[in-house]
Chains A and B, each alone.
Chain A
Amino acid sequence: MRTLIIGYGSPIRGDDALGPLAADRLGSADLPDHVQVISRHILTAELVADLVDKERVIFLDASVDAEPGEVRCRRLEPDSEAVSTMAHFLDPRELLAWCQTLYGRAPESYLVSAGISSLDYASYQLTPIAESALERMLEAVDRLVAEPNLETVDR
């Protein structure tokens, strides 16, 4: 199953770097050939072209909606209403909707996220609770990569 993992977030805003840091860890790991990993500050339009030939996409992000340290894994569906007012970057569901609208299909997609506690500017380190969550995010990704048909899970 051709899989793309996209970790995104700001690397200078503390725990917001969880996504790209997780992606960097995965990128240096021994992943199967069918798995591609990229890091992004934000999700931008050209990523649609990377999505279109994939069967599964896993987004990695920090979350302010969950309790700090809480790792969640949920299925994402295309949603053209999930439009960011910040026009230079996209919500992952909007990105999927671009793919669906333009190419007639969108890959099966998951969001693996972790609740965070610090978004300070010019902060280059994860808090201990985010560090711990990062490990569990990687475990969640491992499960998604290993199993072809996963149900949506909240952990």
Chain B
Amino acid sequence: MSRTLTIEPVTRIEGHARITLQLGDGGEVEDAKFHLTQFRGFEKFCEGRPYREMPALTARTCGICPVSHLLASNKACDHLLSVSIPPTGEKLRRIMNLAQLVQSHALSFFHLSSPDLLLGWDADPASRNIFGVMRQDPALAKDGIRLRQIGQTIIEMLGGKKIHPTWVVPGGVNEPLSQEKRDAMLALLPEGLEIAKRTYAFFKALVPKFQDEANHFGNQPTMFLSLVTPQGNLEHYDGLFRLKDAQGRILEDMVPPEDYERLIGEAVEDFSYMKFPYYKPHGYPQGIYRVGPLARLNNANTCGTPYADVALAEFHMLQESGPIASSFHYHYARLVEIIFGLEMMERLLKDPTILDHRVRARARSNRYEGIGVSEAPRGTLIHHYRIDDEGLITWVNLIIATGHNNLAMNQAIRQVADAYVDGNDLKEGMLNRVEAVIRCFDPCLSCASHAFGQMPLHIELRDRSGQLVDTLSRS
């Protein structure tokens, strides 16, 4: 008897989603799908707005990564202005982007994923949560809070204490950095780096315990897409596209962000409000690729900072050869990037030109089309606008980091379900592993679509006729 198993909503991610597993007669998994169940339509309601409103407007897409949208949007506006922003303005934008990377990765690791990693996949769900982590390892929980606080404090020092900073503007930033703020930010970083290194060492020692999960959590051959520097190194703010295949061969390199449409197509499926980007030359769905910290580390030659490069070398040792394939190692990659973010912020803040007052280029729009690309915590973020003679938006395309990973997340669910789900004897630990593979990607569904609300977790097993066979609920 064929049955459908539904997991709704997927917990400890940002946004609402549903997972369905189609089970065959013997209880084996026949199909798996990840559904984004809400629609928001930012691309449509931005039409008709002045392009200068776009950074502020699109930053509201998300309460957790507004800086990513702010930067990609302003870069698209820079393109519309046809200006090169002053070097100090660019460095200041980079610092804000890295501060967000640190705080966002900290949330994912310490608060969303640590309950599974610390307490175990099969632990009682009543205690397998952040409060369980606080009781078992309060120092780890405090480290997570402090790291987020450091990232958020730097963002606020740069952008002001408003919800969504308006300090980044088309052409650069609207205020130079004061020495007082520079010194205050620098004072935060050593503590942050100590926390990051301590956590990295803790997790590195833990990884061998999770070999089974590493083997089955989205351990799949895909391509990897990210920005890299012109030298092929780790990049988060600017740079050029690099695409590697599963064997590590570079298929595309040094591709200008403005050419993204040559690389990326967007397919639509009727079971999700999230699009399915794919690598155009390979077609859909063969053109599956991943973005985010795993892809960035797989694509980069080096990080370019001392501790992060040591950690990068150890990251590559997680597998005998080739790009690291398991999506479980997104966690590892996040910790490497936290170290990098803190080291690179210190380098930028110590740059002798960082207090320079020339931080903004001014111009009116000089083009009808602008494209801005940056690396958000979860992966490559693309903003593409068209405007009319009045500077009003006529068309918008946003390709969100989480969206790039849509095909890979669906494939990863199938792999985990194949390995762990027994449809004849449904256990909570199975359900948790299916959810946990999604948390490896740290999807931000609020960005990939968007809507807020609450639902209980409810799983139903139904037969082909729709008859309820079994249920599992979590309130």
Contacts and interface: CB of A to CB of B under 8 A. Distances in A.
Contacts of B130: 98
Interface stretch (A42-50, A55-63, A141-149): A42-50
Interface string B127-171: 001110011001001101110110110000000011110000000
A41 B151 CA distance: 16
Interface string A46-84: 101110000000000000000000000000000010011
Contact of B457 (A12, A45, A46, A85): A85
Interface stretch (B58-66, B245-253, B292-300, B380-388): B58-66
A20 interface: yes
Contacts of B63: 10, 40-42, 44, 88-89
A114 interface: no
A127 B9 CA distance: 32
B280 interface: no
A101 interface: yes
A18 B192 CA distance: 34
Contact of B66 (A20, A41, A50, A86): A41
Contacts of A11: 60, 163-164
A39 B166 CA distance: 14
A153 interface: no
B145 A121 contact: no
Contacts of B145: 45-46, 48-49, 98, 102
Contacts of A88: 14, 63-64, 107, 444, 446
Contacts of A85: 9, 11, 454-457
Contacts of B195: none
A38 B155 CA distance: 14
Contacts of A42: 63-64
A122 interface: yes
B52 to A, nearest CB: 15
B142 A102 contact: yes
Nearest to B151: A46
Contacts of A20: 163
B307 interface: no
Contacts of A98: 130-131, 134, 145
Given A41-B164, A101-B131, A87 B45 contact: no
A87 B14 contact: yes
Contacts of A97: 131
A7 to B, nearest CB: 9
Nearest to A48: B145
Interface in B197-253: none
B14 A45 contact: no
Contacts, number: 94
Nearest to B9: A85
A86 B452 contact: yes
B12 interface: yes
- Which of A11, A38, A46 has the largest number of chain B CB atoms within 10 A? A46
Interface string B446-459: 10000011111100
Contacts of B134: 98, 101-102
B361 interface: no
Which applies to chain A's interface (DSSP): helix, strand, loop or mixed?
Answer: loop
B162 A39 contact: yes
Contacts of B161: 27, 38-39
A16 to B, nearest CB: 9
A46 B152 contact: yes
A44 B14 contact: no
B11 A87 contact: yes
B6 interface: no
B17 to A, nearest CB: 11
B60 A10 contact: yes
A98 to B, nearest CB: 7
Contacts of B142: 102
Contacts of A122: 45, 57
B409 to A, nearest CB: 16
B111 A121 contact: no
Given A11-B163, A89-B63, A44 B148 contact: yes
Contacts of A10: 60, 63
Given A10-B63, A11-B60, A98-B134, A86 B454 contact: yes
A12 B60 contact: yes
B57 A39 contact: no
A46 B149 contact: yes
- Which of B41, B66, B112, B149 has the largest number of chain A CB atoms within 10 A? B149
A85 B11 CA distance: 6
B15 interface: yes
A29 to B, nearest CB: 15
A26 to B, nearest CB: 12
Contacts of B453: 86
A92 B303 CA distance: 39
A10 B453 CA distance: 13
A121 B175 CA distance: 30
- Which of B15, B145, B457 has the largest number of chain A CB atoms within 10 A? B145
Contacts of B163: 11, 20, 39-41
A98 B103 CA distance: 18
11 contacts: A24-B162, A39-B161, A41-B63, A41-B66, A44-B63, A44-B64, A86-B16, A89-B64, A98-B130, A102-B141, A121-B40
Task: Give 10 nearest A-B pairs by CB, closest first.
Answer: A41-B63, A46-B148, A42-B63, A46-B149, A88-B14, A87-B12, A12-B60, A88-B64, A101-B134, A122-B45
Interface of A: 10-12, 20, 24, 27, 38-42, 44-46, 48-50, 80, 83-89, 97-98, 101-102, 121-122
